[in-house]
Structure 1
Amino acid sequence: MAKPQMKAQVIEDFNSPYILKDVPKPEIEDENDVLLKLHAAGYCHTDGMMCLGQCKPDPPKFPHINSHEIAGEIVALHEKPSEYARKYKIGERVISTGRPFHPCGKCFECLDTTRPDYDDGYSIVCPHCSFNGMSKDGGFAEYVVVDARQLARIPDNVKATDAAPLSCAGITIYGALKRTGLQPGQRVAIIGAGGGLGHLGLRFADAMGFRTIGVDAADGPLDLARSLGTKAEVIDARETKMEELKSRLGEEDGKSLRDEMGVDAAFILIENQRGFDFGFDLIKNHGTCVVVSYSEAGFRISSRDLVYRDIRVVGTILGSIKMLQEIMDLVAKNDIRPVTTVYPFEKLNELVEEYHKGKGGKFVVEMAR
């Protein structure tokens, strides 16, 4: 008997367009598996990198369906669902992160209870888990199988097209903000403030009580960041002199020495060295540089600054699944929504073309319903 089919946007090689075609509908195989009917799926910067062959840790097998920003409706569970899957019901709307699909629950990552993203005996960075849209098929399809341990419920007042980007962009920047341990009233700088993560970061930072500086260096993203109505000061890095900026911040904070002027943490959401240097120089002594983006070229860091200014540099990926539900409750309560450009599912290639024009925000496909 022929397997049931579904429509999917498929890539068949690197540097090739998406092809809308019929493929076998995925089947539930594990007690933790949940079958979702997709309502919306986001296009992440990582999707673009993967299509170019730049995601070396998780190379796909072709043909491949990507997207790890997934929002949909549960339509089936395993015949003997696990304790995690039993928490959900048919018909519930959920989002799913990229990781962890089938974490092992036994490795050092899964069992390390000291990790800030520890989740009941499994880890989002388990080296044995799979990754939606990367090492396994993802959300640019009518249906997808996900792990019940990588889900969060969508509040009734949040649309699927707004929820999907929160499963990656949202949880990544929120997890980064939380990881610093900063308290309300402290200063943060978001470098790349008009991008998919950055504009959400401005809104989350407001809700968390931080004093925020948003930094970008392109007209479209700057316009977007300034249009949000947040309390953040949004500045154009092309026109800003660092010494003048730090002096002004010092005056506002009652500081007289350069090394105590600036922000307590800077979040690097861009991939170029000039942007990294701007953010790094803006950090006061004993502050934190949080690296969220990654580029093939990497970043150069001054060892002198690390030693004499005691700057802490940390990297981060996503946040815990507990945090995922936390941000869903936060966005519902504070009416935080991503700025989205929405395309119908069959026009994904047009979405990609528009994405590369760099206007900022998040790009999402919506399934016909």
Structure 2
Amino acid sequence: MRAQVLNAFNTPYELTTRPLPSPPTGHDVLIRVHAASYCHTDDVYASGAMGKTLPLVPCHEFAGTVVSLGTDAQTSTDLEIGSRVGVPGRAYHPCGHCNECLNGEDQIGYSVYCPKAGNNGITRDGGFQEFAIVDSRQVVPMPDELGFVETAPLMCAGLTVFAALKRCNLEVGDTVGIVGCGGGLGHLGVQYAIEMGYSVVGIDNADAPLRLAESCLKAKHSSGSHIFDARTTDAEAVLTILPAPKRIPLPSERGLPAVLILPESQAAFSFGMSLLRPHGKCVVVSFPEEGFHVSAKDLVFKDVEIVGSLVGSNRCAREMLQLTARTNVRANVRTWSLEALNELVEAYKKGEGGKLVVDLEASGLGELSGR
């Protein structure tokens, strides 16, 4: 089979022919990968800023069909040969007995937050190859309404921003701020937020992402939502433009109940914090190596709550896919063949927003009995 391998940090991927993975055992399943999406984490990993596993086949958001199943997967899941599944990166082989695995969010003995679990595309080979071994407990059945290229970006970008929105604990009719609204996560977050009954205040600072976010609003016909260019409009101006609530608040009471911080920049974080009203919630998704500077005044005098959100549970992923299937939430996608992965990476570095996906069906899939 063909695979794109990262053999050294800060170098291009190398297209390689590899043997097929060994037949799956236990909870594992072998899937034929049909689509594999490129994530910001792939770029960070390739730079050497996280992880040490080399050589590695990256990609932790992909989709495919089940080819064979381990014994436990056959008896404990409804998967079968030919099942169409999305594959999030977390969590491969959780320990089964830590507090996370026993918390009951997913099935007992499994948690995407298990500190001992592996991650496809980060600690072990992921989706930039024709066939991959995954844990049957981490996969998500694909609704008939979704194709592989549509599903792959949802397995990290979609799931992460959907889970972050749920962490906001908003009520229908509330407004959420999304800083980085035109990126891979952001433009999906705009769509999910509106489908969840919220209005959106989107912030970005580049032409192409701003256009993408605006197009998402237009498609959703959300008249109460707004997109702002951070280069020309500061947080104070955003708050004055927004419609005032029925009870006119004091100037110090203005603001949003929650914001998502998606970019890895202090400026983005500070902008988002400035949008929050007293007792608001800041949900941080990004993880810059140098961290963020937090104002003690925001924490103490505004009583702002700051929480992190890594990824959603398997249960959350299923809820997210079902909502996607019922609506027209879709990632803005551009596709490349497996052979052209390095060209995809160059396009990613231009920062034009949306999601970039390897479509392996455009590459000529190898047969299971073949290479």
* Pair in the same fold by TM > 0.5: yes
Tell me what 1:72 maps to.
64
Deviation of 1:154 (Å): 1.2
1:124 aligns with 2:112: yes
- Output one character per residue of 1:182-222: Cα deviation in whole Å (capped at 9) or x when no partner: 11111100000000000000000010001111110011100
Deviation of 1:275 (Å): 1.0
The DSSP-based 3-state class of the residue aligned with 1:87 is coil
- Output one character per residue of 1:286-325: Cα deviation in whole Å (capped at 9) or x when no partner: 0100000111121100011101100000001110101111
Moved more, 239-248 or 32-41: 239-248
Tell me what 1:23 maps to.
18
Distance 1:199 1:367 in 2: 24
Distance 2:64 2:331 in 1: 17
Deviation of 1:108 (Å): 1.8
Q: Aligned ranges for residues 307-322 of structure 1 at < 5 Å?
A: 307-322=300-315
Distance 1:168 1:352 in 2: 17
Deviation of 1:257 (Å): 1.2
Q: Aligned ranges for residues 1-369 of structure 1 at < 5 Å?
A: 6-55=1-50, 58-60=51-53, 62-79=54-71, 81=73, 83-84=75-76, 86-113=77-104, 117-228=105-216, 229=218, 230=220, 231=222, 232-249=225-242, 251-368=244-361, 369=365
Deviation of 1:167 (Å): 0.5
Aligned AA (2:214) = R
Distance 1:274 1:209 in 2: 28
Percent identity between matched residues is 43
- Output one character per residue of 1:168-188: Cα deviation in whole Å (capped at 9) or x when no partner: 000000001111211111110
Deviation of 1:27 (Å): 1.9
Q: Does the 8 Å CA contact 1:250/1:260 hold for their aligned counterparts?
A: no
The DSSP-based 3-state class of the residue aligned with 1:26 is coil
Q: Does the 8 Å CA contact 2:73/2:136 hold for their aligned counterparts?
A: no
Moved more, 320-329 or 236-245: 236-245
Distance 1:266 1:148 in 2: 34
Q: Does the 8 Å CA contact 1:12/1:64 hold for their aligned counterparts?
A: yes
Distance change >3 Å, CA 300–CA 261, structure 1 → 2: same
Distance change >3 Å, CA 251–CA 80, structure 1 → 2: closer
The DSSP-based 3-state class of the residue aligned with 1:156 is coil
Distance 1:71 1:265 in 2: 32
Distance 1:255 1:122 in 2: 48
Equivalenced residue count is 357
Q: Does the 8 Å CA contact 1:41/1:139 hold for their aligned counterparts?
A: yes
Aligned AA (2:351) = G
Distance 1:285 1:250 in 2: 18
TM-score of the two chains, using structure 1 as the length reference: 0.93
Q: Does the 8 Å CA contact 2:34/2:63 hold for their aligned counterparts?
A: yes
Structure 1: stretches of 5+ with no match in the other structure: 1-5
- Output one character per residue of 1:63-98: Cα deviation in whole Å (capped at 9) or x when no partner: 2100001100000001453543x3101101100111
TM-score of the two chains, using structure 2 as the length reference: 0.93
CA RMSD of aligned residues (A): 1.4
Distance 2:346 2:74 in 1: 41
Aligned AA (1:365) = V
Tell me what 1:3 maps to.
none
Deviation of 1:227 (Å): 1.2
Deviation of 1:259 (Å): 2.7
The DSSP-based 3-state class of the residue aligned with 1:112 is coil
Distance 1:310 1:82 in 2: 50
Distance 2:236 2:210 in 1: 21
Moved more, 104-113 or 302-311: 104-113
Distance 1:184 1:233 in 2: 17
Q: Does the 8 Å CA contact 1:20/1:346 hold for their aligned counterparts?
A: yes
Q: Does the 8 Å CA contact 1:119/1:321 hold for their aligned counterparts?
A: no
Distance 2:237 2:245 in 1: 12
Q: Does the 8 Å CA contact 2:33/2:62 hold for their aligned counterparts?
A: yes
Moved more, 139-148 or 228-237: 228-237
